[in-house]
Homo-oligomer: A and B are copies of this chain.
Amino acid sequence: MALIVQKYGGTSMGSPDRIRNVARRVARWKAQGHSLVVVVSAMSGETNRLIALARDVSPQPDARELDAMVATGEQVTIALLAMALKDMGVPAKSYTGGQVPVRTDSTFTKARILDIGDSNIRRDLDEGTVVIVAGFQGIDADGNITTLGRGGSDTSGVALAAALKADECQIYTDVDGVYTTDPRIVPEARKLDRITFEEMLELASLGSKVLQIRSVEFAGKYKVRLRVLSSFEEEGKETLGTLITFEDDIKMEQPIISGIAFNRDEAKLTVLGVPDRPGIAYQILGPIAEANIDVDMIIQNVGHDGTTDFSFTVNRSEYARAKKMLEEEIKPHIGARAIEGDNHICKVSGVGVGMRSHPGVASTMFRTLAEEGINIQMISTSEIKISVVVDEKYLELAVRVLHKAFGLEQAAA
């Protein structure tokens, strides 16, 4: 008899049939005696359709008005899901963000949640009603409609779970959990029953698209138990997905490495012969940041003869623009010797909280890659992650041999 917050994304809500499927799933959880708050996204494609319509009317749509308009996407799906549930005899009631209320600041199109009033929802739950809440949206102090930015429905779900002190926040997606790596590359990839928040954060930032990174941070901060499940599993065949939990809860026998992540959309840039003096990193990366180019890895080795080499990676789509800036603006300004770059690289990472107490992880990783003749171009490490940059042609091979080297195809003891 738990209080459960469930979140269904746009694909799960993508058609009348799928909405009825979601309703049946909700009804089954309800029949088990649980209290349910269901957060939904707009039908897939709807938000983009509305934004395109706005752009047809105004090239740069006013942010307040865009939010009022885009928020209609979820207002439609909450009503449809409530109708479907009532049709099945399950009491249900829809809430827009403003009706909850989900109070936010006034940063239109990317508002932050300030707090959530829970009295309306608690009254409905006490009466046995399933509460359906529009994700992605809120209301500011002046009664304006706000949206949380793309992927904000996950954040709405987690925030509601935190406000209601829910027992669990279930994020339904089109995959059935978090895997040790991409099963399309390593068929032996295994679904994890549990993963820690820290690991999930590293995996999310490394290109694993299962959860919005912001919602994972939020869940970690407010100690919300988060679970990733599939909304497409048939009745009677549902699995429990992957629980994202706190390090303390993970048993001692956990593996050193939980998963192998990768990102193929990378490009590297190196500034050679940079004068080795304070402020040089800022002089290189300041203009790059101002041009709205996101930088991922940053590496600077010890210099010699008064100069050093400075490398970083960017998204491949930004490679040409960043290289041009380095050559035309930054190189002459700081007096570097040359600019080199490569947009045929990829990043492969081992992630796991276990590596904190196992110093041998890095050497296992390097030896495994060396045995396959894969040259490591860059290395970057965090407390629970080791990332290497290699030629993109080795991506699949590197992921496969590392997955095997760390024994990820076997379930934890």
> Could you tell me which A residues sit within 8 Å of B by CB distance?
16, 19-20, 50, 53-54, 56-62, 64-66, 68-69, 71-72, 75-76, 78-80, 82-84, 86-87, 93-94, 96, 98-99, 143, 145
Contact = CB atoms under 8 A, between A and B. Distances in A.
A153 to B, nearest CB: 17
A218 B253 CA distance: 75
A143 B119 CA distance: 13
Nearest to A15: B56
A65 B79 contact: yes
Nearest to A71: B75
A83 B98 contact: no
Contacts of A68: 75, 78-79, 94, 96
Contacts of A16: 53, 56-57
Contacts of A59: 87
Contacts of A58: 80, 83-84, 86-87
Given A16-B57, A19-B57, A80-B54, A62 B75 contact: no
A16 B59 CA distance: 12
A79 B94 contact: no
The listed residue with most B CB atoms (<10 A of its CB), out of A64, A72, A93, is A72
17 contacts: A16-B53, A16-B57, A19-B57, A58-B80, A59-B87, A60-B87, A61-B83, A62-B83, A62-B86, A65-B78, A65-B79, A65-B83, A65-B94, A69-B76, A69-B80, A72-B72, A98-B98
Contact of A57 (B65, B66, B83): B83
A68 B99 CA distance: 11
Given A16-B53, A16-B57, A62 B80 contact: no
Contacts of A99: 143
A82 B65 contact: yes
* Centre residue among A53, A69, A93 by max chain B CB count within 10 A: A69
A256 to B, nearest CB: 48
A373 B314 CA distance: 89
B53 A82 contact: no
Given A68-B94, A69-B80, A98-B98, 19 more contacts: A16-B53, A50-B76, A54-B79, A57-B83, A61-B83, A62-B86, A64-B93, A64-B94, A65-B79, A65-B80, A65-B86, A66-B79, A66-B83, A68-B79, A71-B75, A72-B72, A72-B76, A96-B145, A99-B143
A37 to B, nearest CB: 17
Contacts of A76: 50, 53, 69, 72
A31 to B, nearest CB: 19
A145 to B, nearest CB: 8
A80 B94 contact: no
A53 B56 CA distance: 24
A406 to B, nearest CB: 46
A99 B68 CA distance: 11
A372 B117 CA distance: 74
Contacts of A75: 68-69, 71-72, 75
B69 A57 contact: no
A79 B61 CA distance: 9
Find the residue from A61, A83, A94 having the highest chain B CB count within 10 A: A83
Contacts of A53: 16, 76, 80
A59 B16 CA distance: 12
B72 A54 contact: no
A6 B83 CA distance: 35
Nearest to A69: B79
A76 B72 CA distance: 7
A145 B296 CA distance: 46
A22 to B, nearest CB: 11
Contacts of A82: 62, 65
Contacts of A98: 98
A16 B54 CA distance: 8
